Structure 1
């Protein structure tokens, strides 16, 4: 049994409910607040850190803040209201108040407040399983945090919250090992800052990851550490979460009586807190313990109570779990018709949630690389601007030096000018090459990325994970190679192998790709421009093989033709260049391809410093009947 996470909704909870025995202290603290001169949101947080707020106290603070035009007081009041309604499971009102706080933070440029509020809005959306919105708000917060130089302790804590949220997204996607990597990095910062609340949250998250990896003893160790931190912090809601998690692990270990004892200890406490999300979780776990102990009627009563709460307040993960437990009850009662009905409801709900998250995961990657494309375009424009400035500077220097040389220094100044001219020309060549690479990399990435989406849409999860892993290796290779002017041929061939395996998805893996490397060549010593072979492989696939029927083959050969050259041949058994050109002319949508032209320019720049030049030859292949049988591209690259 794998349970849905409780950890996700544990962020930003640092106070318990309003206590009726301390209203004077709260009112006194609020009145004293307006005599202070705070200019930072974190100062306000620390000031009210141990103050207990009920709805009346929050309204009083908001009213006083509005009257005195205290911006930080208003922002803090709205965040308290947002948290109050969030804990009451009134999510629309929670979002409304958080947005009021967010708008004030942005209007008056209170960046620290904005970071905190963005994270809290993300918590509300995650509680409703609206992962896309939650992810956006946590990413906005992380972007703001990363822009702050010399971060304070509070900013470091906020960054830890953001990073934990990314780990939680991995948990939602069932990527438990990736999530553990995030949490173990975040916990270092929390230990350094002695952030007990953050440590409680992180150990809860780590425990959940181990639980789903079926490492139950490790899960219990981390859940108990989280419980200890929550007891030290006197966090009642933290205690509820930890008891529920520990009880779930004990159920998995078959220790049902012990699990029942743990969950019964916090049933009343969860009711006192009044948070419908956790009340629903507690009654689900309580009912499941009773089911395992054979108390089916009691278990059914508690599971139905949980189901009623989760349906009323829109908590899909709890609803799906309740359906699963009701199916188990009716199965044990041998009422298989009802058992099937509830089992089907559970499966349909869980499948929809998980499938939506997988689509989100890929869409998030696409959004990320959309931003990369935009950034690369900006870099290209900046470099082109710099090239223009260099050319203008060069032309200006020509005129100045010519005039001065005629009047004063003649040949001497002309020689100096010549040196400067060569230096400027070299800079121009380097900048032009970088501009070309910035345009090539996003183009290459998207040709690969868009091929993966079909598996996700069709919910072929194993294939999706397999090709996502290949895709991550491909992206890492592209990003590493884009920083250099040249790469070893061995690295280029590995990248092309990844590219071909991903492009082959769209052909249902019908393309047979083969490499033939001359044993006398040391691939690590041969240097080539990064991604230089990709356009030729792309042409072979999309112009040569896409319209071909039957067996599709692409081969890549590397031969040492002399001491000065190696030759790379890329052959396909496609329809041939003539037929491909005819198909292209008949298409209604005309699109000019610039990939090969850019590749030629890059090869020219690359070989300018060599004593030999590159050569590129196309050969039309034919069969014994002299019919088109494919195309071969031969690229000779100088070694010196």
Structure 2
């Protein structure tokens, strides 16, 4: 519990800016309306970010989006203003983390990392990497990712000698070691951070690291050393007059004295924590103090006193809807009733604890679902902004080109007839090609929602079947695949290794979704450089999906899917072979189920191949499907051969 409190103090070091409490919502939105009438330049972006910071608490308390940050993001993307995009994404990520939306926070901070890298600004990159690490650390099951981000931040901060980010990274890595009970390594990192904080004369950082060292020694059962460091941290917090820090130290001292079975001193410090918590706005600390004192009385067999404090914690938690504390308080009360031999009331309290536990699990699943949808919407909006800006630039280029053509025609009036003929012919060919490209982009856009809808349905099924572990695993992989799809489908061609990477991730998801009823193998010819060969994105996946859901899932026994890629000249051949039930049997199954519609993915992909054939003016782009049978005519599966023209990077 102590670690959690010192973690809250640590977050104060990450958040820069002077947030103020807005008093009038009308004034806030009048300010935003006035901002929208300002000229769209870098000054406006910086003003929006400053306003968003100052009014951040206003929007956080209401659980709403900060429109100043959103406006800053939109304007920065239109202007291609890297600094504005970095600051807006970074601040929005921190705001999301303050509302415990850690998945969204990580997504925004990763975008900040991207723009810091584009700007080649090492300080920005340190800040964004540390913030992303904190987001993942708050997710509990993402500690490995958190470590990677903080380690990158530490290396970069040491390179540029930025003490603030060095301290943050070292402290964070220490906290990760605490979470994994590697206490000796944690102490080593906290002592390094402590020395740097002392050199920087940052007393808040000194207090945090002293307390964290105390927690690590408590984990090692070196209780006297733990008390020594807790008291050192307490002394610094008293100098700072920091109510939150004082409450944390008193609670920690109460915990360690309780572990030493010195119940009198434990009660003394817990009562001090309760007294200090009265000066803290967040009533969760008061409710927790009541709970800790109740546990202490229960350990001493003083059941009436214990239950009095348990009820005070419960009553306060009911008012402020602290579900986690309600679960813990009822659980502690159940144990107290059991210790006194009152098994009936013990069971009643335990039932209430389980009700709040189930509620917390459901809330966590719903939050993860909502954040995944929000990430999709944010990425879709960002891509729309980039697409509109690109179209605007293309329109300006076309306008300039037409002006040049007009002036050229006036200068060469004698060649008007011949020049006009070639100009009209060239323009018609360009227009036809652009039309085909737009149609191809439209078909790609149809392909992605089709796949995303199917995957979201699977996540929904896992959650409703209360299979939390598989749902979490599936959701993590799906989020990564969705990001890859959104990135890849911005381009007409992507490298073969990216296409195969997303295909492998898709197959892993389908294996999980189908309970491992099939295996797969992807073979790439030795003479192919996967990074140089460029193909249209998401072109193979529909045939793989068709093989799985119409061939392999209905097969009795282990299914096998073979994908083979070869290259001849500028023509790529991809063969997808399955040992499923065959097309005839699949059609019979569909008819029995009343399913007569044709696969959306197959239909869209055939349209894409037809357009690729037209754009490249070639007959080589083609797809053939062969039913595999033995000598008696028994179905052995299906073989799909996909032939595509390819591009090369070099």
TM-score class normalised by the smaller sequence: 0.5 to 0.7
Shift in Å, 1:207: 8.7
Tell me which residue corresponds to 2:230.
none
Task: Identify which of 611, 621, 638 aligns with 1:614.
Answer: 621
Tell me which residue corresponds to 1:538.
545
In structure 1, how many angstroms separate the alpha carbons of the residues matched to 2:384 and 2:335?
Answer: 57
Tell me which residue corresponds to 1:597.
606
Local SS of the residue matching 1:450: helix
In structure 2, how many angstroms separate the alpha carbons of the residues matched to 1:141 and 1:184?
Answer: 32
In structure 1, how many angstroms separate the alpha carbons of the residues matched to 2:151 and 2:210?
Answer: 15
Tell me which residue corresponds to 1:93.
none
Q: TM-score, normalised by structure 2?
A: 0.64
Tell me which residue corresponds to 1:557.
563
Tell me which residue corresponds to 1:568.
574
Shift in Å, 1:358: 2.0
Matched, 1:501 2:508: yes
Task: Identify which of 469, 472, 480 aligns with 1:462.
Answer: 469
Local SS of the residue matching 2:563: strand
Matched, 1:270 2:277: yes
- Taking only aligned residues, the RMSD between alpha carbons, in angstroms, comes to 5.4
CA gap of 1:254–1:607, structure 2 versus 1, over 3 A, is farther
In structure 1, how many angstroms separate the alpha carbons of the residues matched to 2:344 and 2:542?
Answer: 58
In structure 2, how many angstroms separate the alpha carbons of the residues matched to 1:258 and 1:292?
Answer: 14
In structure 2, how many angstroms separate the alpha carbons of the residues matched to 1:638 and 1:160?
Answer: 42
Tell me which residue corresponds to 1:348.
355
| Equivalent runs, 1:282-301 vs 2, <5 Å | 282-292=289-299, 297-301=304-308
Tell me which residue corresponds to 2:318.
311
In structure 1, how many angstroms separate the alpha carbons of the residues matched to 2:480 and 2:173?
Answer: 26
| Equivalent runs, 1:140-219 vs 2, <5 Å | 142-144=69-71, 146=73, 161-162=94-95, 164-165=97-98, 169=102, 174-175=140-141, 177=143, 212-214=179-181, 218=186
CA gap of 1:544–1:269, structure 2 versus 1, over 3 A, is same
Please tell me whether the aligned partners of residues 372 and 479 of structure 2 are also in contact (alpha carbons under 8 angstroms): no
CA gap of 1:592–1:559, structure 2 versus 1, over 3 A, is closer
In structure 2, how many angstroms separate the alpha carbons of the residues matched to 1:462 and 1:333?
Answer: 37
In structure 2, how many angstroms separate the alpha carbons of the residues matched to 1:145 and 1:366?
Answer: 22
Tell me which residue corresponds to 1:24.
none
In structure 2, how many angstroms separate the alpha carbons of the residues matched to 1:343 and 1:2?
Answer: 25
Please tell me whether the aligned partners of residues 286 and 302 of structure 1 are also in contact (alpha carbons under 8 angstroms): yes
Q: Which moved more, 1:414-423 or 1:469-478?
A: 414-423
Q: Which runs of 5 or more structure 1 residues have no equivalent in the other structure?
A: 13-41, 46-74, 79-97, 126-133
Deviation per CA, 1:600-636: give whole Å up to 9, x if none.
046437856xx98333211122344324443321123
| Equivalent runs, 1:128-527 vs 2, <5 Å | 134=63, 136-137=64-65, 142-144=69-71, 146=73, 161-162=94-95, 164-165=97-98, 169=102, 174-175=140-141, 177=143, 212-214=179-181, 218=186, 222=209, 224=211, 231=238, 234-241=241-248, 243-244=250-251, 260-271=267-278, 276-292=283-299, 297-373=304-380, 407-408=414-415, 411=418, 436-518=443-525, 523-527=530-534
Task: Identify which of 623, 626, 630 aligns with 2:637.
Answer: 630
Please tell me whether the aligned partners of residues 283 and 303 of structure 1 are also in contact (alpha carbons under 8 angstroms): yes
Deviation per CA, 1:286-345: give whole Å up to 9, x if none.
333444566555433322321222224433222212112222323443544443432332
Please tell me whether the aligned partners of residues 70 and 88 of structure 2 are also in contact (alpha carbons under 8 angstroms): no
CA gap of 1:590–1:533, structure 2 versus 1, over 3 A, is closer
Shift in Å, 1:534: 0.9
Local SS of the residue matching 1:452: helix
Tell me which residue corresponds to 2:57.
119
CA gap of 1:469–1:2, structure 2 versus 1, over 3 A, is farther
Please tell me whether the aligned partners of residues 401 and 417 of structure 1 are also in contact (alpha carbons under 8 angstroms): no
In structure 2, how many angstroms separate the alpha carbons of the residues matched to 1:393 and 1:577?
Answer: 54
Q: TM-score, normalised by structure 1?
A: 0.65
Q: Which runs of 5 or more structure 2 residues have no equivalent in the other structure?
A: 36-46, 103-134, 191-207, 213-232
In structure 2, how many angstroms separate the alpha carbons of the residues matched to 1:230 and 1:328?
Answer: 35
Deviation per CA, 1:526-558: give whole Å up to 9, x if none.
442222201211222344456x35247352332
The number of aligned residues is: 542
Shift in Å, 1:570: 1.1
In structure 2, how many angstroms separate the alpha carbons of the residues matched to 1:397 and 1:296?
Answer: 92
In structure 2, how many angstroms separate the alpha carbons of the residues matched to 1:617 and 1:158?
Answer: 52
In structure 2, how many angstroms separate the alpha carbons of the residues matched to 1:227 and 1:160?
Answer: 32
In structure 2, how many angstroms separate the alpha carbons of the residues matched to 1:43 and 1:525?
Answer: 50
Local SS of the residue matching 2:314: helix
Local SS of the residue matching 1:266: helix
Please tell me whether the aligned partners of residues 160 and 186 of structure 1 are also in contact (alpha carbons under 8 angstroms): no
